[in-house]
Structure 1
Amino acid sequence: MPSAANADPNATRQVPRGPLRPNTPPGGMRGPGPGGPVPPGRPPAGGPGGPRRPGEEPTDLLPPVHQTVAREPELLTHREDEIELEPFYDDEYDEELTPEEEKALRRKKIWRRVRRVSYVGLSLMILGPIVAFAIAYQLVDVPNPEQVAADQIKAVTILYSDGTEMSKIAPSGGNRTLVKYEELPETVKKAVFAAEDPTFETNPGFDFRAIARAGWYQVTGRKSGGSGLTQQYVKQASKDDEETLSRKFTEVVKAYKMSEQQDKKDILTAYLNTVYFGRSAYGIKEAANVYFGKTLDKLTQSEAALLAGMIQNPGRSEEKAYVEGRWDYVMGQLLRWNWITQEQKDTEPFPTPRALSEVQSGGLDGTRLLIQNQIIAEMAEEDWPMTRAHQLGVTVHTTIDPKMQTAAEDVVREVMEGEPQELKESLTAIDPNTGAVKAYYAGADGNGIDYARGTIQEAGSSFKPFDLVAALHRGKGLGSTYDGVSPKTFPGGPGPEDDIVIRNASDKNNECGKQCSIRDAMRMSLNTVFYDMVANELGTQAVADAAFEAGIPRDVPIEGKDHKLLVGENGGPPGTGIAIGGGEAQVRPFDMAVAYASFASRGTYHKPFFVSKITNAEGANVYTHVDKSRVAFGDDPEKSRDIADNVTESLKPVLTYSSLTCAGGRECAGKTGTHELPDSIEQNSKAWMVGYTPSLSVSVWMGRNEGNKPLINSKGKSIFGAGLPGEIWKKFMDRALEGTPMEKFPKAKPMGQYENTKPSIKPTTETPKQDDPTTTGRPTTTGREEPTTTVPKPTKTSSCGFLCQTTTTQPTDPIGGGSPPTR
């Protein structure tokens, strides 16, 4: 072996690998030995204590294993410990980890990354909004109340379907002067605080709790303002109602900046000068005049509470129940915040606003004012409230045909001339192929009640086509037969041993007999057949579902409250009386025109509408109606068409039988209906005629405000569906369709048993009273027409009087619950 002195300086020595000390510095560590350092308290290697152990032998200084720079031994400045070594990694010498240790190590690394990402995210969540708020604060401008007021003076024009003007709604007091803070009475200020923002005087321009609540409502699909007075002012000034987080954020920034730059008194004054109160009144000064004809200093606390209550939803200013509810809420809030006493709340009467016709700048009144109310309500539903409409000065194009509307008003006036003033009526005409409302007569006496969409009434025999729809779904046909003999008893009376007696007002001689087809039963409106069909085969829920398919809504707003339709006790199936339009068969007259339109359109439902489009001042479309249609009867379009055609086939002979055929031989189909007054004999409380052609569906209803008084004409006779309502319907159809093509109904495709098993009963010349009045079923022990026992008293009452009619007693029915059958 060559000596160290003769070794090649560039040669590499092989050194056995062995365990090294952790954290060995570059260049290695000199082992203890002669001339080397000795650790304290430890004897030198090889000294006392025995021989050296492995790993304690002295080692020679060796050159690096991988030398990157050639050695220059002759350089006196060269130092061994300056030679660069390749990095040393402890992991190369770690023992191999077990699977459990590797899993734990991976988990530890993952959580370390998660924590770091969370720290970054949390920092961004905290700092991001602060930075964004600070930047937005510098960029946004606080709205000027004078400019906001100037932007509210544009008139809204409403047009008929032919482009002629119906009305022009100009903001009340367009050239108004803004009130000063000193002119605002305490009654007004406290009422507005109570209604909209109780903490206004102390909050920074917004309420965190209200915003959080509004956010939660939005997530859960509900609506809530969540905005204080300052935010509301900013919102109306920005003309932006979009429900987005960016809009809400900007609104909060502006509100905060406004609160920082302006005094609360100035903010409140700006708000009350520009906020919308309904009736085209902007600002508290004009609202006081439009609602009560008063100046601000003359307003009572009760009147101020009513005005403050209108701020939330000014489009409902003509709904008496809603206005009363809001007034009561504000009065309660005033008491809660100790701004009035309990005695004041108990003694302050509800203030009655002026009639809208007295202050409406468009000049509409009576039935056309009710049309305008429907148009405004629909605009609000489509995110076009009057505040937005006034700011842009839009033109609203409606579906109302001026010729048909005039015909409706003229016919009602002519037919009802000389009749008792207590009689009320409505007429709705709808294009079945689009859902467009062509004529709308909802009353004309100026009492504010909309008799087309503001009341729900028993439909009588006009509900029987929905029985037929349910039967066709089950495979029955127009030729299917039932026992048509009258009277007929059914189980389910008020007592365990009582029966329900059902009678027919027509077919006195029982000519249809025990094998009476549905076709003949519909033509003669035989109660016994339809009651038997529903009670013993179809079930009441099937009939309700058929009505919903046709277009009867499941719930409707009446006097500011939602009312579920066609349901029994506790939301269960309706009573068996629904088979002949009694009991829970309560609907709005407007919706019957919609439902029959689904028959006319051959099985397609179109959602009804009043507004076809909205254009801005430049004539550009800013809103266009989109047809919302669906297959009516089930999911199969072909089957739905066949069902509708079969219903039409059954309803065409009804008009001949009722002497209500359309002029010139025009094909029409329809059904009369009468609901008999409870506890009466041959006296009716509601009368209907609903019918259609392929291009027009029309519903006519007649009743009284009391709801529990008989319908008597000028001759002292009871009114049936084929009487005054039928006369109105026929005359309107003839005038409305005059000059239009003579359309034919398509031939129906037979479903189930289509033909009669015996010759059809020939039409008779009987006086058209054949729409069976529907009444409370009367338990009896004889076959006489008149009841022999006391009629059971009603047990279920309605909370809204005439507008939501009472239903009758509720015995246990063969199918379903609720009211007893009617005859």
Structure 2
Amino acid sequence: MGRADERRARQRGGRRAAPRNRSSRAAAPPSRTEDVTAAEAATSAAAGGRAAARRSARKGAKGTKGEKGRIRRLFTWKKMLGTFLGLCVLVIGAFVALYITTPIPDTANADAQLQSNVYKYSDGTLVTRDGKLNRENVDLADVPEAVQHTFVAAENKTFYDDAGVDLRGTARGMLNTLMGKGAQGGSTITQQYVKNYYLTQEQTVTRKLKELVISLKLDREKSKNYILAGYINTSYYGRGAYGIQAAAQAYYRVDADKLTVEQGAYLAALLQAPSQYDWAVASENGKKLVQNRWNYVLNNMVEEKWLDKAERDAMEFPIPKEPKAAPGQEGQVGYLVDAANSELERQLVAQGVAESSKEAEAMVNAGGWNITLNIEKKKQKALERSVKEQLTSKLDKKKRSVDGDVQAGAVSVNPKTGAVVAMYGGVNYVEHYTNNATRTDYQPASTFKPVILAAAFDQGAETQDGDKITANTIYDGTSKRPVVGSDIGFAPENEDDVDYGDVTVQTAMNKSINSVFAQMGVDVGMDKVIQVAGDLGMDTEDLKAVPAQTLGTMGASPLQMAGVYATLDNHGKKVTPTLIKSAENSAHAVKPAEPIGEQVISREAADSVTSVLTGVVDDGTAQRSVRDNPLRKGQKVAGKTGTSDDNKSAWFTAYTPDLVTSVGLFGESAKPPHPQVTLTGATGLIPGKGRINGGGYPAQIWAAYTFGVSSKVTRFDLETDQGAAVQPPVTTSPSPSRSQEPSEEPSTEAPTTSAPPKTQTPSQTPTTQEPSEEPTTEEPSDEPTTGEPTTEEPENPLDPRLAQ
């Protein structure tokens, strides 16, 4: 067979005939045809393998498609739609069942029927009972229609047209409750009335569903006027006032039927945050917020055509009248009750019991709380007695009008527990509503200087020359000396414009030298100073990191400053003054705030500041009132005086190892709107010269109180090798006080020819010797000195030389 025949045979699938002689075939070498056949067989085998692989892949693909198919069959759009419709039927059915089984309650809830709050001293003895209902319902017809509209414009513009509920807002509220995010508003006037009057403030989905159902029913069964009347008659407006009649009297001394639109808009705005928006106690930010809210209400009225735009444009914000205290709140009682209520409200929000400050306030004022304070009865009475004996008994506003402008506030704290053991809010709560112990609108002045020093020690700060700042570092104490290294020019004047020349940091603290601490603040970095101030407990949210802050030009309260110094006393561990020991009612037991926190500055830094501050008492601005006080008996004391610009405030904040007390005197005009005024000349001191300094009345009050309640003499446990407590201070002679005004204004730019502040350290070796407490009998000179003071009282015990 030829080659052509073989090819044809292969193409037909045929084979060549086997050779007749097998042996001869076996012996013969393979032919070329056989080679080709073998190769083709291998190719065919490979092709077969690929085909098998394709068949296997097709089977696998069919399997995957099968799985997907089963999933598709399981989750078809028909089944999903059916499931969804089924759930909807279940939800609707459950809601229908809830609607049928939830009636409108016949009576108000227990919270709406106010009970008394009981306040006790730390030993369990009674302070007072508070919470008597102050409500007088009025018919809606007795409220001017325009005033009615202010509440609708403030809370629920669609009130007259809606079905009583906001489904979207309610759904959002339930979702937030489930997720623990708190409230985000959205309730209608009807829902708010139902919650306040029929239900409770409990934050649960069940309560929200009941609120929804009852609101729907109430809207169907009662008129809008009935609901609006119930809402404005049961809402809480602050100042202990429930209902619009009580609120009209509390804020404007008129009945509800005499309210103007402007006044009604303010009362409507109050409902969002009664305490925060009360003009008498609101912060500057709070006043801005309530004015914004007031404008919002009136603008909505114009939008709804309830108020003419021209009339609205002519309206001015109606400043409320001064509040009057409720009966039984005389003396210090009202201050303690208000401060305790505020702290309890913060804790209710912090612990998730209330969704907002507004709800927390309503819960507290609903009554039924048993509140035990940290106030110790003995210390409280001693503080009140000290203020009276050392200050208020010497005030006579009939003889001197300035005496009526003097306000005192004080707070005493246990630095180991954070407990507020005594508080003085003012001469009488029924005469002066504002709590001077918690107000933050006066400058702490030089009581801020220890904060600067704490920042320097904690940060390991260096001077402009690169030397580490210590108690013995030398600075230039020249008055009006421009600070070096600041982008903002600043050249502060020392008190009485005294030039001290080269002084140590210790002496600068003792004498409260402004120029030294202004430079130190720049050396440390004002941003770091402000940060440390916040860590220690001051409110620094809105403070700018500028050199002027070194003079204590921000606002602060005695409560805040007591916390700052308590943290220093507690070796740098944060102390948050806490007034409430325990608080509970039938539904809740509220934990007090954690008073002792983390280490905010190092122990060495805190102890070093304490050591330096002992020099203020033993050789500085507080020596006459504290060091030489016969009741001291060797008690160790660290503290700082402060006197603000124009003598509008005077401070003494100081501590022993076991007790921290901050005392502040504030000049507040007795005439509305009560602007800040000078204290100079009060108690008969020479007008224009008789400045009230921190080393005067504030230090006298502090000493009489602290030494009177101290049962034993204690010493500081300090881990430091610097400061007056471990070595005698290095003193230098100051330059004479300038007798004439400078011929030109001081420069506000950093000097180009002046040398940077001197930072050399004295060569003497620090010792551990205690400073001498034996005073000399040398007559004081007319100029400030840096030597030992005399024991003789000067003719004027509040000599301006004694303090800043």
Partner of 1:301: 261
Structure 2 partner of 1:275 = 235
For 1:473, what is the secondary structure of its paired residue?
Answer: helix
Within the candidate set 422, 429, 439, 2:422 is matched to 439
Residue 465 (1) aligns with residue 450 (2): yes
Name the counterpart of 2:217: 257
Q: 1:422 to 1:255 in 2, by over 3 A?
A: same
In structure 2, the CA distance between the partners of 1:710 and 1:741, relative to structure 1 (3 Å rule), is closer
Greater displacement, 430-439 / 319-328: 319-328
Q: Indicate whether 1:741 and 2:728 are aligned.
A: no
User: What aligned pairs does 1:119-518 form with structure 2 within 5 A after superposition?
Assistant: 119=81, 122-123=84-85, 126-144=88-106, 146-148=107-109, 151-172=112-133, 179=138, 185-208=144-167, 210-211=169-170, 223-292=183-252, 294-316=254-276, 318-320=278-280, 321=282, 322=286, 325=291, 326-347=293-314, 350-351=317-318, 355-357=322-324, 360=326, 362-365=327-330, 368-383=333-348, 385=360, 387-389=362-364, 391=366, 393-414=368-389, 415-416=391-392, 417-418=394-395, 420-444=403-427, 446=431, 448-475=433-460, 478-487=470-479, 489-490=481-482, 500=491, 510=501, 513=502, 516-518=503-505
Residue 577 (structure 1) aligned with residue 537 (structure 2): no
Q: CA deviation at 1:235?
A: 1.3
Match of 2:380, as an amino acid?
Q
RMSD over aligned CA atoms reads: 4.3
Distance 1:754 1:349, change over 3 A: closer
SS in 2 for 1:468: helix
Alignment partner of 1:524 is 2:511: yes
Aligned residues: 648
User: Aligned equivalents of 2:442 and 2:94: distance in 1?
Assistant: 57
Partner SS for 2:719 = coil
1:630, distance to aligned residue in structure 2 (A): 1.5
**Aligned position for 1:650:** 612
Residues 378 and 136 (structure 1), Cα distance of their counterparts in 2 relative to 1, 3 Å cut:
same
Q: Matches of residues 496-645 of structure 1 in structure 2 within 5 Å?
A: 500=491, 510=501, 513=502, 516-536=503-523, 538-555=524-541, 564=542, 566=543, 568=544, 574-578=545-549, 580-582=550-552, 585-616=554-585, 622-634=589-601, 640-645=602-607
Larger Rg: 1
Deviation at 1:169, TM superposition (A): 2.5
Residue range with higher mean Cα deviation, 115-124 or 395-404: 115-124
Give the structure 2 partner of residue 789 of structure 1: 744
1:428 is displaced (CA, Å) by 1.9
Report the secondary structure of 2:422's partner residue.
Answer: strand
Alpha-carbon displacement from aligned partner over 1:539-574 (angstroms, at most 9, x marks no partner): 11221122122111333xxxxxxxx2x3x2xxxxx1
Task: Report the Cα distance in structure 1 between the residues aligned to 2:665 and 2:551, rounded to whole angstroms.
Answer: 15
Unpaired runs of 5+ residues, structure 1, are 1-92, 556-563, 569-573, 635-639, 678-683, 771-781, 793-808, 815-822
Q: CA deviation at 1:256?
A: 1.8
Structure 2 unaligned spans of 5+ = 1-53, 349-353, 355-359, 396-401, 461-467, 669-674, 753-803
8 Å CA contact 1:172–1:286 kept in 2: the answer is no
Contact 1:357 1:365 in 2 (8 A): no
CA positional deviation for 1:615: 3.9
Q: Which segment drifts farther, 722-731 or 256-265? A: 256-265
Structure 1 residues 488, 329: closer, same or farther in 2, change over 3 A?
Answer: closer
Q: Percent identity?
A: 26
Task: Give the 3 Å change call, closer, same or farther, for CA 112–703 of structure 1 in structure 2.
Answer: farther
Indicate conservation of the 8 Å contact 2:573/2:597, yes or no.
yes
- C-alpha distance after superposition, 1:36-84 (max 9, x if no partner): xxxxxxxxxxxxxxxxxxxxxxxxxxxxxxxxxxxxxxxxxxxxxxxxx
Residue deviations 1:729-772, cap 9 Å, x none? 2223233x24x23332113244899987xx733699x9xxx9xx
Larger % of helix: which?
2
Q: Is the 8 A contact 2:506 2:723 kept in 1?
A: no
Secondary structure of the residue that 2:714 maps to in structure 1?
coil
- TM-score calculated relative to the size of structure 1: 0.68
| Residues 300, 525 of structure 1: alpha-carbon distance in 2 compared, 3 angstrom cutoff | closer
* SS in structure 2 at match of 1:147: coil
What is the deviation of 1:466?
Answer: 1.7
Give, in whole Å, the separation in 2 of the partners of 1:192 and 1:138.
Answer: 31
Q: Is the 8 A contact 1:462 1:672 kept in 2?
A: yes
Deviation at 1:596, TM superposition (A): 0.4
The one-letter amino acid paired with 1:789 is E
The letter of the residue matching 1:633 is V
Aligned-partner SS, 1:665: coil
Call closer, same or farther: CA 1:488–1:356 in 2, change over 3 Å.
Answer: closer
Name the SS for the 1:280 alignment partner: coil
Alignment of structure 1 residues 724-763 onto 2, 5 Å: 724-735=697-708, 737-738=709-710, 740-750=711-721, 760-761=729-730
How many angstroms apart in 2 are the aligned matches of 1:439 and 1:447? 19
Aligned equivalent of 1:688: 651
- The CA deviation at 1:687 is 2.5
Distance 1:472 1:241, change over 3 A: same
3-state SS, counterpart of residue 241 of structure 1: coil
Distance 1:329-1:166 versus aligned 2 partners, 3 A rule:
farther
Q: Summarize the Cα distance change of 1:697–1:113 in structure 2 as closer, same or farther, 3 Å threshold.
A: farther
Contact 1:279 1:317 in 2 (8 A): no
* Aligned counterpart for 2:661 among listed residues 679, 682, 698: 698
Counterpart Cα distance in 2 of 1:256 and 1:625: 39
**Residue 282 of structure 1, CA deviation:** 3.0
Distance in 1 (alpha carbons) for counterparts of 2:483 and 2:362:
58
Q: TM-score, normalized by length of structure 2? A: 0.70
Aligned-partner residue type, residue 409 of structure 1: E
